[in-house]
Amino acid sequence: MASSSKKVAFETKILPTAPKEKYEYLEEFVSGEFTSIYKAKLRNDSSIKDFKLFAIKILKRYELHFNEREVNILKKLDDSRHITKVFDFLQEESKLISIVMELCMTDLYDILMVKKIVVEVPEKKTMFSHILRGLDAIHSKNIIHRDIKTKNLLLSYDGYVKIGDFGMACQGPPFYADHSVIFTDQVGSIHYRAPEILLGERKYSERIDLWAAGCVAYELWSNEILFQGKNKKDQLEKITEICGFISDETWDAVGKLEGHAEYEKTTAFRYRLESSLRDKLEAVTKDECIIELMLSLLSINPYQRKTAEVLLMHNIFDVGSKPPPAYNLFPLKMIVEMWPRSATIPRCHFRYNMNFDMEIDSDRDNEEEKDEEYEIRMKFRMSRVMMRQQKYRVQKKLKTILQK
């Protein structure tokens, strides 16, 4: 959490917007040191019609300024559809506060790393454009999320990828400003932590979120984590192995960071001078536009990372690009809904294509129509797709065995 010599503080206190009795707590599905999250529903009729179930996040930190910061940041971002929607703030026992949010289906980590669903390029483009729109909304309010990762990127029931969990977020300086705010470097998951933080930078900005977004983009295109370090030193080594030695040539201000002198002395780093990042990216996609986008986000020099606003104007998100972004994420949503929940059921890699997506769209005269007959037809079609993909996986495995 931000500790600063020049404090960025909120003046307002947390005020409940509804009584706790308005909601019925159903089950706890996340339990952590600082938060617990429950599924919940409304006890009585309400003006909120769009969501039947809610996620209630109880903030268990007794340091009120941390809770106030998270609540106030969420209030500022209430107008973006790519941020998890907040409905109410409730007063729990003692000083505890809870946040009533929309309940999402799952997160990108579950889709990419657990279920290993191989998403087609049109859907990847749409998903990443949603992530960039969420980041643009956050950064336009001079907020740093500080914990962008696939586990905090959620697929909602209305078919959007949304950024969640603002427990580490803080108010930061505008882009490219010469600021004196000093933040903690103990932020974010190690696999997504920007190199400047690993080298001791304490005056960072929104650019750290862009690095993390680059790591997410690689996961989206490869179903693999790009830099899998075990600790800070190991993570720096993993970054160096792929991105090259971090020196004044790649970033002229890096020598001023307190951790760079020790980094230079480390023999393991010294001889890995050349970047192999492009080769790594070319192994997962041949699309030069996508490669350039990832190279921008994964630049060692934070000042060379293009903003989310600029990247959203990239031609890979145009309907004229080949292949164009998917019209919506409804097919992916249906796949996630139907995916076997039991760990005893074998899971398979599979793909779905734009023809199937277009077939879905042509069946719907009204995008909002979700009648029972339509749902039955969709589930039937999805079961056929999954059967075809299981057959494809078996054939591929047999081919591999025969080649050996």
Cβ contact 338:146 at 8 Å: no
Q: Stretch 168-180: mean pLDDT, rounded?
A: 68
- Name which residue leads in pLDDT, 132 or 339: 132
Residue 388 is predicted with a pLDDT of 57
Q: Stretch 263-274: mean pLDDT, rounded?
A: 66
Does the structure show a pLDDT above 50 at 151? yes
CA distance 269 to 365: 59
Instruction: Place 175 in a pLDDT band, splitting at 50, 70 and 90.
Output: low
Q: Which of 253-267, 294-308, 323-337, 342-356 has the lowest mean pLDDT?
A: 342-356
Instruction: Place 387 in a pLDDT band, splitting at 50, 70 and 90.
Output: low
Q: Which of 58-62, 287-291, 295-299 has the lowest mean pLDDT?
A: 58-62
Q: Stretch 51-60: mean pLDDT, rounded?
A: 82
Catalytic residue among 88, 107, 147, 209: 147
Residue 63 backbone phi and psi in degrees, to 5: -80, 105
Residue 94 is predicted with a pLDDT of 67
Cβ contact 83:76 at 8 Å: no
Residue 149 is predicted with a pLDDT of 97
Q: Stretch 304-325: mean pLDDT, rounded?
A: 89
Condensed to tens digits (0 to 9), the pLDDT of residues 77-136 reads 988 999 999 999 998 776 678 999 999 999 999 999 998 888 889 999 999 999 999 999
Most confident range, picked from 214-218, 255-259, 378-382: 214-218
Q: Stretch 223-248: mean pLDDT, rounded?
A: 91
Kindly write down the DSSP assignment for every residue of 231-270, as one continuous string: SHHHHHHHHHHHH----TTT-TTGGGSTTHHHHHH-HHHH
Q: Stretch 300-324: mean pLDDT, rounded?
A: 89
- The residue assigned the tokens 């790649």 is 250
CA distance 314 to 213: 15
Q: Is 193 exposed, middle or buried (0-12, 13-18, 19+ CB in 10 A)?
A: buried
Residue 338 is predicted with a pLDDT of 79
Indicate if 209 belongs to the active site: no
Cβ partners under 8 Å of residue 113, min gap 6: 150, 219, 223, 225
Most confident range, picked from 54-63, 295-304, 335-344: 295-304
CA distance 147 to 189: 7
Residue 390 is predicted with a pLDDT of 57
Residue 280 is predicted with a pLDDT of 94
Residue 121 is predicted with a pLDDT of 92
Most confident range, picked from 150-159, 237-246, 316-325: 150-159
pTM value? 0.79
Residue 357 is predicted with a pLDDT of 37
Does the structure show a pLDDT above 60 at 324? yes
Q: Whose CA is closest to 164, among 128, 129, 138, 200?
A: 138
Instruction: Place 318 in a pLDDT band, splitting at 50, 70 and 90.
Output: confident
Residue 375 is predicted with a pLDDT of 53
Does the structure show a pLDDT above 50 at 7? no
Does the structure show a pLDDT above 50 at 6? no
